[in-house]
Structure 1
Amino acid sequence: MPKPLTLEQFHPSDPQKARIGQLLFYDKILSGNKNISCGTCHHHDHGGGDGLSLGIGEGGIGVGPKRSAGTGEDRIRKRIPRNAPAFWNIGHKSIHTIFHDGRLSVSDIYGNGFNSPAEEWLPQGLDNITAAQALFPLTAQFEMAGNPKENQVAGAVHDRIDAAWPIIAKRVRVIPEYARLFEAAFDEVQTSKDINIVHIGNALGAFINAEWQSMDSPFDTYLASQTPLPQAAQRGMELFYGKANCAACHSGPLFTDQNFHALALPAFGPGRTRRFDPMARDVGRMGESDALEDAYRFRTPPLRNVALTAPYGHNGAFPTLKSMIEHHANPIASKAKWTRDMADLPSAPWLSAIDYVIQSDTREMARQNAALDIKPVALTNSEVADLETFLHSLTGKSGNARPMGRPSTVPSGLPVD
């Protein structure tokens, strides 16, 4: 059993910086075409996610499960290859690896504190891994940057990733309200000209770390005072740490070992392809490590407030906790009975030809089925239900009532999703 979470275990967040981060999080000024924000896909109304299997990024319309793929020339050109993860407790000091494939981690390899896709071009001075990760969606073509020739940000990214950040920073610092807020919150910012992408990342990190902190669930009460859980949840907890062996990977106070495991999830979507591997597949950790033994392995997700963040899996293949538990119990049987209507993919007829094309590649399917790190466990229907009840006990009492929430307006004047 893990020890209780405490405030001291989290990176501190300056309230003034977090306030700037809250505004930036929902301000579309950070996106190439000024039409999408961080909050569009990590929305307060959807537990910090978007409720979709695969995200609808730049060019989409709306928020959450009702978000559409857009129309006309502005419509999306590609689905986001993976499910949008929530940020619950990402500010915990133990977090050292982020993203489904772990492509961002704490490291001194490049002299800036992180091993990241930006390599040595990631700037120094970022406060923590949350601040670092906040910068990458801004430069991702199908997430927030947009397509080449559409805007300066997207064009700069295609030269080199760090060429885009000064453009984004200038957009922010020329807005008087942002200039005033940054000058008040950061000692080193004397005038608006001093504002750079590091300040923006640190403000976003301060907000994310503070806003998505959660340690007030019934399970937390149990850890702190041994107050019994309801009987079904208690039985589920005993299964979780016993027969079902969930804690082998979902361990520690955040319910993640931050390691990578292959679960043989049903494959669909455009895949996270590499330049030399243009198949519509997702090889998971191997895409970052280039190690064959990492093929189809994905980072263990934390489980606090997991009941608020459906659908589940790195590609959102399973719509309910029950279906995800059943897959863990018997992956091959679960995959055999999985149907396409279980994936929540907003209609995009121009992309339908590739949505499930990978499933027609029998050799690739055999490789994915063979890469399996969990052994089947025989669970009864009532045991599955008890496990689901226990996972609900990880939901914080304030899970849907965050301390800062979504702002009604942002300094750019752009609409807030």
Structure 2
Amino acid sequence: MFSCLATAAGAGDLPSALTTADFLQFDRDQAALGHSLFYDTILSGNRNISCAHCHHPDFGTGDGLSLGIGEGGQGLGPDRTPGVGLSRIAKRIPRNAPGLWNLGARDLHVMFHDGRLSTSDLFGNGFNSPAEEWLPKGLNSLLAAQALFPLVAQFEMAGNPGENEIIGAVHDRIDNAWPILAKRVRIDARYGPQFVQAFDHIKTAEEVTIVEVANALAAFMAVEWTSIDSPFDRYLAGDTSALTDEQEKGMELFYGKAACDSCHAGPLMTDQKFHALGLPAFGPGRTRLFDPYARDVGRMGESNQLEDAYAFRTPMLRNVALTAPYGHNGAYPTLEAMVRHHLDPAAARAVWHPRDAQLPEVAWLAGTDFIIRSDRREMARQARFVPPGGPALEAAEIAQIVAFLGSLTGTRVDQPPFGVPAWFKP
């Protein structure tokens, strides 16, 4: 997700090179267990979707869609269909599926587009999350905490009310579903013994809780998708020949005239803050109880602060060239289009067309996919938060920035430690 406005006038220094010391260390046996769980549908309410259906390496660890097709859909990536009959999807996933690169970084302290998960002592379990005090203790990382929430999200993995015991428990209280999922996993003959082997404190399968499930998933994602070997990383480490001339010019613009690093700052290339970009609105949105159906106010939905209206978290940029489409709702299909929006948000909004969205056809949702755009009051509210443009750049300079963003792609992204298991059938 390349979604943070760069408007500062000055140039920043280049960040330090990322090294393995910048990342949490995870147990490889736990990662191997998490690898299987990540691709298995056992963690979904109706056993019909896995984490990998929305975060697949073939699509840069996303799904190649602006807004995903979750529980009830069929297939993978842009070819995923919305299902049929009573099990078909009821709505699209409200926001774009983010890539999973470098989520084991030590300095990472906030997740989700609206930042509704962060490290905190507020609830006594290490995190400020939608589960508040009901989030279990013992999670090994922010990434492990994050892994718990898609499992209990109705349209992502849990399913619709009346379909299974998982969603029923969620509607009672969010943490009531996790023990059911943990039991489902630990009584499976494939997994019980693996938990005993992977976790020193687990002596019998009956001791497995959702904490071990989440910790295994986190171990896998962190081990599988740590990426610090891009040409840019080699350049930062001292190899001044690692970038092409176009990429180096783009880097100079990124950290100079274009000031992209005013938000994409530091070794992780994010300030981990929230910025309103004025992206074109569409889709169901992630609404609050009292919001119109299609509205998405971004960070304000978590903070309840007006200054956070329509603001979304600055993403990290490693492997960004692999993770199209771009923006919190996947509004733009190319990096060039996303860069141009940063430079002139008002103009980009004016020429944006619904066909730019990567949305598989869903006949029963067609009437609502873009209905927000006909709400004049809401469009006027959003327009007030459209930021000013960045510096005027020539087409050649934009191309150079895009070339630099391409230099953030790891050289071994197609050689992960584990890979897609042969048994995974989307």
What is the TM-score of this pair, normalised by structure 1? 0.97
Please give the root-mean-square deviation of Cα atoms over the aligned residues, in Å: 0.9
Letter in 1 for 2:356: M
1:387 alignment partner in structure 2 = 401
User: In structure 1, the residue corresponding to 2:118 is in which secondary structure?
Assistant: strand
* Aligned partner (choices 274, 279, 285) of residue 271 of structure 1: 285
1:331-368 Cα distance to aligned partner (Å, 9 max, x none): 00011001111001111111111100100111211221
340, 352, 361: which one pairs with 1:326?
340
- Return the alpha-carbon distance in structure 2 between the equivalents of residues 400 and 323 of structure 1: 26
Task: Tell me if the contact between 2:258 and 2:390 (Cα under 8 Å) persists in the aligned partners.
Answer: no
Offset, 1:374 = 5.0
Q: How far off is 1:376 after superposition? A: 2.8
For residues 375 and 342 of structure 1, what CA distance do their matches in structure 2 show?
A: 21
Mapping for residues 202-351 of structure 1, pairs under 5 Å: 202-228=215-241, 229-351=243-365
Matched, 1:5 2:28: no
Mind listing any 5+ residue stretches in structure 1 that lack a counterpart? 410-414
Alignment partner of 2:412 out of 369, 389, 398? 398
1:279 positional shift: 3.4
Alignment partner, residue 363 of structure 1: 377
Report deviation, 1:281. 1.0
d(CA) in 2 for partners of 1:232, 1:369:
35
Counterpart position of 1:416: 425
Report SS of the residue matched to 1:136.
helix
Q: What is residue 412 of structure 1 aligned with on the other side? A: none
Residue 258 of structure 1 and its aligned partner are, at CA, apart by 0.4
Matches within 5 A, 1:131-210: 131-210=144-223
Q: Secondary structure at the match of 1:266?
A: coil
Kept after mapping to 2: 8 A contact 1:254/1:303: yes
* CA distance in 1 between partners of 2:111 and 2:120 (Å): 12
Q: Is the 8 Å Cα contact of residues 212 and 402 (structure 1) preserved in structure 2? A: yes
TM-score normalised over the length of structure 2: 0.95
Q: CA deviation at 1:251?
A: 0.7
Contact 2:231–2:410 (CA<8 Å) still a contact in 1?
Answer: yes
Answer whether contact 1:21 1:205 (CA < 8 A) is retained: yes
- Structure 2 residues not aligned, in runs of 5+: 1-13
Partners of 1:191 and 1:270 lie apart in 2 by 44
Instruction: Encode CA deviations 1:161-185: one digit per residue, 9 max, x unaligned.
Output: 1110011001100112211110011
Separation in 1 of the partners of 2:234 and 2:200? 39
SS across alignment from 1:298:
strand
C-alpha distance in structure 2 between counterparts of 1:184 and 1:401, whole Å: 26
Distance 2:31 2:271 in 1: 28
The 3-state SS of whatever aligns with 1:90 is: coil
Whole-Å separation in 2 of the counterparts to 1:100 and 1:186: 32
Aligned residues: 412
SS where residue 238 of structure 1 aligns? helix
Superposed structure 1 runs of 4+ greater than 4 Å apart: none
Q: Identity over the aligned pairs, expressed in percent?
A: 61
Kindly provide the amino acid, as one letter, of the partner of residue 141 in structure 1. Answer: Q
